[in-house]
Amino acid sequence: MLVRPGSRAKDFGAPGGGASSSSRGGSNDTGTELCPPEGPVRPRLVATRTPDMNLGNYPRCALLVVLAAVPAFLAGGCGGGGGGSSANAIASAVQDLTADPEGTTTVITFGSASGLATATAANFAADGGQTAQSALVVANVATVTWDARVSPSHHVGTTGLSGVSAALHAVTTSDASVPTFTITSATQNPGLGGDTISATFAGPHVVEAEAEDPANFVLETDGQTLDLTGSTFSFDVATQVLDVTLGTPANLHATFTLAAAGLHSVADVALSATPVAGNATGDTTAPTIVSAVQNLAQDEYGRVVDFTFSEAMDPVFSTATTHFVVTLPDLATTVEQPTEDVLRVTFNNPIVPGYDSVTLTSLVDLHGNAFPDEVRPITQPSPVVNAFSGNVQAVTVANAGGDYVTATTTQALDPDTALLPASWSLVVAGTPVDLSTQTFTYDFLGKTLRIDLDVDLVNGQAFTLQGVGAADTPNPINFP
């Protein structure tokens, strides 16, 4: 408090709230006035004369300062965890990856050591729900270990420390570099699924939970993304090695790539999504075909063929209908894989044993080894005997024309041959009928042939219908 010459001494409130008559106007007994305090804070002052004191150009006086109340700007810093301008506060909070590569240790530096003498783990908090397990305080530095990772995505603070601000402070990290990984080995094993990949990470540790989530990875081979359903990812935190065992839909070819499409370091730094190349070893043998059999148990009309191979075939690259080519109008409509070594193909029309062949093209086994293209005849090891079902009927209608012959069989006929006039012989009253001028229709699912005649039948006439070239679907023989 400065004292101005010639000013009047003022008392701005005596302790206890009473007023001094000598300080409320008029001069004090020295005739010297005190300048009022500059600023909002006004401590209580009383001035007394001291004749022996020489203050140069200023009147001789001595100042006796009496604190009548605690100034407001100090009061805020005296309570526990207060936020006043004089309270100690966090200057920095650093995730120390040198001390703890998993990111559960934070080094918190304060502006001073004030208020930290009694600090324990209970006095530290983080906004991600982490709980402090220990706190080592040396001077103005606290090293706090948490029960879970505290990263630059979080804030930390103190609670319950007198004279220390409770304000939260953002966390930084000691290592914000981007982790990388290399594929150290990849092995092809027999059968669908079970192939393995081993990858080693370098740089800051990666988040374990993310590394063990297949959704954070993309596996590709020959330009095709593989389905990781059923795959297991096991991550060793200490060595930073990821071991992958692939599920049934994903099988390694000789070359492949693996990309980390959602992985972060423990400091929340995203890994590059650039694919990393790998080479797999273990299987270089090309598959061979064992059989190509019409499967009547699956379809009595002869439209399903099972192709059995010497080993498992790739469920991604060998299940397209374009791999199974037949002569139009026949075509493959679906491909299934009931077992790892069988490809079951359904066609739109019957594939007749002994008549039809299928061209196999661009097939590969589960590890990408190519099957040599070939034309494969279809076989039926258990033919089913065909016959007319009930009587063959010759139907006459009134007036000229409109008569027809109809016949139903126990097994379906191949529509390609059932509609050919040359496949049949019709004799009426001992005279062969020229079938080249007749109209043929065939109900494949109903297994029924109809021949509309351009000649009139007479009731009671004897007739004979015989198959001489029509093939039934399960037998490589003419229909009798």
Is residue 45's pLDDT more than 50? no
Please state, in angstroms and as integers, the Cα–Cα distance from residue 295 to each residue in 13, 312, 348, 404, 413, following that order.
110, 20, 14, 34, 16
- What pLDDT score was predicted for residue 415? 86
Residue 387 banded pLDDT, cuts 50, 70, 90: confident
At residue 85 the predicted structure's pLDDT band, cuts being 50, 70 and 90, is: low
pLDDT at residue 401, as a whole number:
75
Greater confidence (81 vs 69) lies with 81
> pLDDT tier at 389 (50, 70, 90 boundaries)?
confident
Determine which of 50-54, 187-191, 207-211, 413-417 has the lowest per-residue pLDDT on average. 50-54
- CA–CA dist 362, 126 (Å, integer): 59
Q: Tell me how far apart the alpha carbons of residues 357 and 83 are, in angstroms, rounded to a whole number.
A: 88
Residue 36 has pLDDT above 80, yes or no: no
Domains (range + CATH), the chain = 1-69 (no CATH), 90-173 (2.60.40), 180-279 (2.60.40.1220), 289-377 (2.60.40.1220), 393-467 (2.60.40.1220)
* % of the chain surpassing 70 pLDDT: 80
Q: What residues have CB less than 8 Å from 429, skipping those under 6 apart?
A: 458, 461, 462, 463
Which residues, listed in sequence order, are joined to residue 220 by a DSSP beta bridge?
225, 257
- Give the whole-angstrom CA distance, residue 303 versus residue 289: 20
Give the residue ranges of DSSP H helices in 192-255. 208-211
Q: Averaged over 176-183, what is the pLDDT?
A: 98
Looking up tokens 């000649």 gives 455
Instruction: Give 460-469 pLDDT, tens digit per residue.
Output: 888 889 887 6
In angstroms, the CA 260 to CA 215 distance is: 9
Kindly tell me if the per-residue pLDDT of 41 is higher than 90: no
pLDDT of residue 473: 54
pLDDT confidence of residue 35: 35
pLDDT tens per residue across span 186-213: 999 999 999 999 999 999 999 999 999 9
| pLDDT, the chain, mean | 83
Given this model, what pLDDT does residue 384 score?
A: 76
- Asked if the model's pLDDT at residue 71 lies above 50, the reply is no
Q: What is the pLDDT of residue 280?
A: 97
For residue 396, the model assigns a pLDDT of 87
Q: What is the predicted pLDDT for the residue at 82?
A: 46
Mean pLDDT of 372-399: 87
Residue 391 has what pLDDT? Answer: 80
pLDDT over threshold 80, residue 362: yes
Q: Is the pTM of this model over 0.85?
A: no
Backbone angles phi, psi at 426, to 5 degrees: -125, 120
Mean pLDDT, residues 353-367 taken together: 95
DSSP for 406-434 reads EEEBSSPBPHHHHT-GGGEEEEETTEE--
**pLDDT for the residue 77:** 37
Q: Note the pLDDT of residue 321.
A: 97
Distance (Å, whole) CA 359 – CA 316: 19
Q: Rounded CA gap, 474 and 296, in Å?
A: 8
Mean pLDDT value across residues 326-348: 96
pLDDT of 367 higher than 60: yes
Q: Specify the pLDDT at position 474.
A: 52
Instruction: Give the pLDDT of residue 86.
Output: 78
Buried b (16+ CB within 10 A) or exposed e, 6-19: eebbbbebeeeeee
Q: In the prediction, which pLDDT does 471 show? A: 64
Is the model more confident about 332 or about 429?
332
* 46, pLDDT greater than 50: no
pLDDT-derived band at 30 (thresholds 50, 70, 90) equals: very low
Nearest CA to 197 out of 209, 214, 222 is that of 214
Rounded Cα distance between 385 and 382, Å, is 10
Lowest mean pLDDT among 151-160, 291-300, 465-474: 465-474
